[in-house]
Amino acid sequence: MTEFNAYTKEVLKRFTNPKNFGEIKNPDGVGQVGNPVCGDVMKIYLKVDKKPEKIKNIKFQTFGCVSAIASSDALCELAKGKTIEEAKKITNQAIIDKLEGLPSIKIHCSVLGASGLKKAIEDYEFKIGKISKKSIKDDDK
């Protein structure tokens, strides 16, 4: 168990009991990202209230390490209830701060969360005609 000593209590709590794990049926937006270096794959599902444009529900499905799962859960908590514009500003550092830190070798896991959210928002905006094409290439790794 010594490898778990590198994680904060917040990371371990979110890994062992994630509140936001799951899939949303008929989502308004979906984003999928993967990190070929470590094998983590994350899928983010959004449900959006149209007026005002707020994230009313967000779920994740992540295949990955302790940090990837905890980062996904923290991301969902940060984004839920935010407007789309506010959610676009969520950074990797905000996720790390929410987790009260990550081992430096695991920082790349928080990058997946912010990228996955941006892809899900982009998918939503494409579906409603706000943007004409997706600028982020789909990553199905």
Q: List phi, psi (to 5°) of 54.
A: -125, 145
Whether 65 is a known active-site residue: answer: no
Question: Looking at 109, 112, 117, 121, which residue is catalytic?
Answer: 109
At position 39, the amino acid (one-letter code) is G
Distance CA 1, CA 32 (A): 31
Question: Looking at 24, 30, 38, 94, which residue is catalytic?
Answer: 38
Torsion over CA: 53, 54, 59, 64 (sign): positive
Whether 38 is a known active-site residue: answer: yes
Report the phi/psi class of residue 26: left, alpha or beta, with left for phi > 0 and alpha for psi in -120 to 50. left
Distances (CA, A) of 101 to 7, 80, 94, 105, 128: 8, 21, 10, 12, 36
Q: List phi, psi (to 5°) of 114.
A: -65, -40
Active site residues: 38, 109
